[in-house]
Structure 1
Amino acid sequence: MSEKNCGELEMDRTARSEETSLYRFPCGDWEWKQVGESLRERMNGLGMHRFHKKALEIRAAIEWLDPIMERYCGETCPSCQDPCCNGRNVFYNRTDLITLLACGEPLPPGQTRKTADEACRYLRSSGCSLSRTRRPYVCVWFLCEPQMVLFQGESARLQRQIVRVLGKIRENRLLLESLLDG
């Protein structure tokens, strides 16, 4: 894979097309800590600076989406009988951890749940206790049916802008994966 300035990758046939599902499983806090330390060491060995720019772009894009998503959640989640946050397959994946570490942020205290039958440890009665930039990415982009109705009610211009931002986040996340796998 050829490299550009600041560790950016050219998208070629060796670049990833899907994120890995590594670390998408329930785990205890000790195991979680080990995963984080191992990943941090690997990224430091490759040069943490190589990941930094793309991770910051991801964070900025999520911050742009946040007011929109907060509005959608504020209008739909309080009356929801089956919150998406209770989904048993909602976990951090490796790219989530790469992004947080490359932004210089500590990892959350643990995976979303320690066992498969638990609810998300970050869900509170007022919603998620984590800022949107620290949540698993699935918690950032997923829109339930009532939220899709709200999205479809937005102007075509805003819809296109949201789709572009989500596409850029995905592209940058895939680049981070490719950087790690070299």
Structure 2
Amino acid sequence: MLLEAVGNGGPRGMVIAPPRVTSAGNRTRLTAFFGHLRFFLLRCSRLPAVPLRFRGSKGVLNKEKVNDQRLWRQLVGALVQELRGVSAAERAWMEEGLAEIARIQEAIHVLFEKGGGKSHCRSCGGACCDRGKYYPTLVNILPYLLEGGRPPEPDFSSSCPFLHRQSCLLPPPRRPFICITFFCEPTLQGLSAGDRTLYLALEKELRSRYQVFDGRYAGSSPGGLLNRGPALGDRPLLGRC
């Protein structure tokens, strides 16, 4: 069970998990990401049930047996192919929306640094960055592909595939929603009351921007690309909801 943060020492719009719910790193504060997930489920609930298939292959995908690295590369490759057929107007829409997301995430990261987030991360060894395998979404991958590049190669043998030598391979503007909006207890306490209010406003705006993509593209989901891609079967990742 999750407890509302208001009345339990936390700001409005956040929730606090009871002891032993979160993983290492005292990840006690969870943002309203759960509302983000509910939005996606409502908007895309009418997607047809399809067999779990490996995009471009003949057989049914057994999710437990498929190598994560291979699946990741296949999904990214599928996105590259789909983007080639996207109209100039649609690309412009994507670029504009992603630029706004990057702007908000930069602003949130500034607050993270003001609260002493970097030093707190060093002191706990980045334990909060555990289990990030399913965090990257379509929104975090598209900026690389629209520039003609590729996202950093993930290492699925790590606790987080994008955590390398105690640093994140994804820059703040391109980090997953749940990563960029997470402020541990000491970091949040290091902010002034005004900055905490600003943080909550930015988090709310950022969540709404992600939801726009989730409501537009079938492959965009707070559950992450590795989950959403196979679930679509042969449907395009950039297909409309």
Would you call these one fold, judging by a TM-score over 0.5? yes
Matched residue type, 1:150: G
* Aligned equivalent of 1:61: 104
Q: Hey, what's the Cα distance between the residues in 1 that align with 2:171 and 2:108?
A: 12
Matches within 5 A, 1:150-161: 150-151=190-191, 154-155=192-193, 157-161=194-198
Matched residue type, 1:176: F
- Per chain length, whose mean CA-contact separation is higher, i.e. which structure has more relative contact order (CA < 8 Å, sep 6+)? 1
Q: Hey, what's the Cα distance between the residues in 2 that align with 1:174 and 1:99?
A: 17
Give the direction of change, closer, same or farther, for the CA distance of 1:173–1:60 in structure 2 (3 Å limit). same
* Aligned equivalent of 1:38: 78
SS of the residue 2:95 aligns to: helix
Is the 1:98–1:176 contact (alpha carbons within 8 Å) kept by the matching residues of 2?
no
Considering only CA atoms, is the larger Rg found in Structure 1 or Structure 2? 2
TM-score scaled by length of structure 1? 0.68
Mark the runs of 5 or more structure 1 residues left unpaired by the alignment: 1-15
1:174 matched to 2:216? The reply is no
Matches within 5 A, 1:5-154: 17-18=39-40, 27-28=68-69, 30-46=70-86, 47-71=90-114, 72-80=116-124, 83-87=127-131, 91-98=135-142, 100-102=144-146, 104=147, 106-111=149-154, 113-115=155-157, 118-125=158-165, 127-151=167-191, 154=192
Is the 1:65–1:162 contact (alpha carbons within 8 Å) kept by the matching residues of 2?
yes
Is the 1:32–1:110 contact (alpha carbons within 8 Å) kept by the matching residues of 2?
no
Give the direction of change, closer, same or farther, for the CA distance of 1:61–1:55 in structure 2 (3 Å limit). same
CA displacement at 1:41 relative to structure 2: 3.3
Q: Which has the higher helix share?
A: 1
SS of the residue 2:190 aligns to: helix
CA displacement at 1:163 relative to structure 2: 1.2
Query: Alpha-carbon deviations, 1:80-99, whole Å to 9, x = none?
Result: 16611123555312332245
Q: Hey, what's the Cα distance between the residues in 1 that align with 2:214 and 2:187?
A: 29
Mark the runs of 5 or more structure 2 residues left unpaired by the alignment: 1-37, 45-63, 219-239
Aligned-residue Cα RMSD (Å) equals 3.0
TM-score scaled by length of structure 2? 0.53
Q: Hey, what's the Cα distance between the residues in 1 that align with 2:148 and 2:111?
A: 24
Q: Hey, what's the Cα distance between the residues in 1 that align with 2:148 and 2:189?
A: 34
SS of the residue 1:48 aligns to: helix
Q: Hey, what's the Cα distance between the residues in 2 that align with 1:174 and 1:88?
A: 20
